[in-house]
Amino acid sequence: METQDAREAAFVKARLRMVEIQILQRGVTSQSILDAFRKVPRHLFVPQEDQAEAYDDYPIPIGFGQTISQPYIAALMTEKAQLKTEDSVLEVGTGSGYQAAILSRLCKKIDTVERIPALGKQAQKMLSELGFDNVFVHIADGTGGWPDAAPYDAILVTAGSPSVPPPLQLQLKNGGRLIIPVGGSWHQELQLWIKTENDFEMETIIPVAFVPLLGKWGWAGERYRNEKD
């Protein structure tokens, strides 16, 4: 039977290979980002029965119809956010907590919002156990952002939205970056919005396929907007 040490060594090997082939060779070259992906144990953020696939080149189901994003897409979003060590960052769509763990190694403080309570609680538990103590998980509709800690240097939305939720634009600092998949409910384009003095600059990055952002300013917005605040 495989020993625990051999199992851990296999995960480390798979993780280094993931960084080299899926991330570095596709053009994400920032050393600090590559190091974060080399250090965070992605297999602990997927269901136990799927751990052997944790470092493969695709998203993995995490329950409740949700997924942990493909490693390359998580790395690309991190790079496009142009993060600095003093930044405070908002993530919308905590999911497994993996992207938040990556951000935790690169920035000062991360607020991350998840609408499914069981996922948020599980993510917070894993992040705390692993010592990512600058990450704060909130259970809420993240299409409204997290105004208590705004404004942010960067906002990453890890679910696909029909349009950019206005509260997220409002919660960016001047010079702040918003990365968000915008488009249909299953296929979108990844967009980078940068807040300037009086306006926004927008750049499209690549086509992506995220699960839907559900909420007042996302999909099914009419239903949520008709509810009393």
Catalytic residue set = 69
Contact 32, 106 (CB under 8 A): yes
Instruction: Provide, for the chain, the percentages of residues in helix, strand and coil under a 3-state DSSP scheme, each rounded to the nearest 5.
Output: 40, 30, 35
- Per CB under 6 A, does 36 bind ligand SAM? no
- Per CB under 6 A, does 132 bind ligand SAM? no
CB of 198 to ligand SAM, least distance (A): 28
Q: Which stretch binds ligand SAM (CB under 6 A): 7-15, 108-116, 124-132, 177-185?
A: 108-116
- Per CB under 6 A, does 22 bind ligand SAM? no
Residues 63-102 that bind ligand SAM (CB under 6 A): 66-69, 92-93, 95-96, 98-99
- Per CB under 6 A, does 106 bind ligand SAM? no
Q: What is the DSSP string of 174-215?
A: EEEEEEEEEESSS-EEEEEEEE-SSSEEEEEEEEE---B-BS
In angstroms, the CA 15 to CA 41 distance is: 8
- Per CB under 6 A, does 159 bind ligand SAM? yes
Residues 186-215 that bind ligand SAM (CB under 6 A): 210-211, 213-215
* In the chain, beta strands by DSSP E: 60-63, 66-68, 88-92, 109-114, 135-139, 152-157, 172-183, 188-195, 200-208
Among 51, 78, 122, 158, contact with ligand SAM (rule: CB under 6 A): 158
* Burial zone of 140 (CB within 10 Å; 0-12 exposed, 13-18 middle, 19+ buried): middle
CB of 22 to ligand SAM, least distance (A): 15
- Interface residues with ligand SAM (CB under 6 A) are 66-69, 92-93, 95-96, 98-99, 113-116, 119, 141-143, 158-159, 210-211, 213-215, 218
